[in-house]
Amino acid sequence: MQWIVPVACILIGLFAGLIGEKIVFSKVRNIVISKQIPGSDIIISSLHRMTFTWLFLAGLFAAIITYQLKPDVTEALQKFITVIFLFSITLVSARLTSGFVNLFIQRKEGISASLISNLAKTVVLVLGILIILQTIGIEIAAIVTTLGIGGLAVGLALQDTLANLFAGFYLILSKQVKTGDYIKLQDAQEGYITDITWRTTTIKSLANNVVIIPNSQLGSAIFTNYHLPIKQLTVTMDVGVSYSSDLERVERITVDVAKEVMQEISPDITEREPFILFHTFNDFSIDYKVYIPVSEFLSQREAKHLFIKKLHKRYLQEGINIPFPIRDINLQNN
């Protein structure tokens, strides 16, 4: 008969955990998701399966208390359950910390979340494990001292890894690059930065290929960031018209065409105006440069494409001539 109450406690904890996880927790999750409360998805995902774990542990703890065991066995089992409970709390705290760090960083445009969130998660896990060890009676001072001495040897063995880690922090804190930036390295590799992790930086090229660069190499490399100091840039095009052209009319028509291109490519920066500057009396044409603002680096290719098409069509309609190369040849008859 002495087994009835402990077994009942275990079964009650088991069924309560299943009901709490499958029914109560599921309904709460659906209600919270429907309300679209900021950060609610992080809390729900962090508590996944914890309802069952905690209720089942409560049943086990009650069974141990109600069943008459030897004091040392009872104490050992209680410590075991306490360790599991504290570890689950640590795991939830690490998930919450990582999730909310990600949520906060995502609001800061272009900051990579992987490196910082993983570091925050690791710190919480380490602190939680130290608290668990202290709870069960293990002196952590000696462990911390040992880790400090051993950390020197580990640091020497992992120089490259630590160099990449600190280089990643330097890149983020210095704001030289951030996720979403378009960069071009000195060795002609280029693309958008998609992530900065504890070891590498991931670049996605225009061909949808992924380039993986160690943080330490990127930190010491010469590269061009086309999103700094601002994402907007100005496309320049060289054009020439014949000497018989009315330059005032050429300027007006060319600027109109450039504005049409801006409306299609970068409608969000229409407060900036395109313009042209004449600069050379060439052998067969008067040359000028067209300056067209675009919203980002990738837009310049499409802007050039559209501008050439539209300008050629418009010049044909207006009778403006873009001359072929002309050379005068004088033949002397001896």
- Give the mean pLDDT of 189-199: 83
Residue 325 lies in a domain: no
What would the pLDDT profile of 236-293 be if each residue is shown by its tens digit? 999 999 999 999 999 999 999 999 999 888 888 877 889 999 999 988 899 999 999 9
Question: Before 229, cis peptide (omega within 30)?
Answer: yes
Residue 331 lies in a domain: no
List the structure tokens of 214.
């160690």
What would the pLDDT profile of 46-60 be if each residue is shown by its tens digit? 887 888 888 888 888
Are both 138 and 57 inside the same structural domain?
yes
Are both 219 and 141 inside the same structural domain?
no
What would the pLDDT profile of 95-140 be if each residue is shown by its tens digit? 888 887 777 766 665 555 566 777 788 888 888 888 887 777 777 6
Residue 326 lies in a domain: no
pLDDT, residue 51, reads 81
pLDDT band at 44 (very low <50, low <70, confident <90, very high): confident
CA separation, residue 116 to residues 48, 152, 311 (Å): 23, 23, 49
Q: Which domain holds residue 276?
A: 233-318
pLDDT band at 14 (very low <50, low <70, confident <90, very high): confident
CATH of the domain at 298: 3.30.70.100
Cα separation, 38 vs 41, whole angstroms: 8
Are both 190 and 67 inside the same structural domain?
no
Task: Give start and end residues of each alpha helix (H) in 108-246.
Answer: 113-135, 140-157, 159-174, 215-220
Are both 15 and 136 inside the same structural domain?
yes
Are both 243 and 279 inside the same structural domain?
yes
Are both 124 and 37 inside the same structural domain?
yes
The answer, as to whether pTM is greater than 0.75, is: no
CA separation, residue 32 to residues 28, 36, 55 (Å): 6, 6, 22
Residue 75 lies in a domain: yes
pLDDT band at 141 (very low <50, low <70, confident <90, very high): low
Residue 152 lies in a domain: yes
- Final residue before a domain boundary, out of 179, 204, 225: 225
Q: What is the count of structural domains for the chain?
A: 3
Are both 212 and 108 inside the same structural domain?
no
Residue 329 lies in a domain: no
CA angle 250, 305, 276 (to 5 degrees): 30
Are both 64 and 142 inside the same structural domain?
yes
Q: Are the C-beta atoms of residues 212 and 200 closer than 8 Å to each other?
A: yes
Are both 268 and 299 inside the same structural domain?
yes
Partners of 224 in the β-ladder? 184
- Give the mean pLDDT of 168-195: 81
Cα separation, 80 vs 88, whole angstroms: 13
> Is pLDDT of 159 > 80?
no
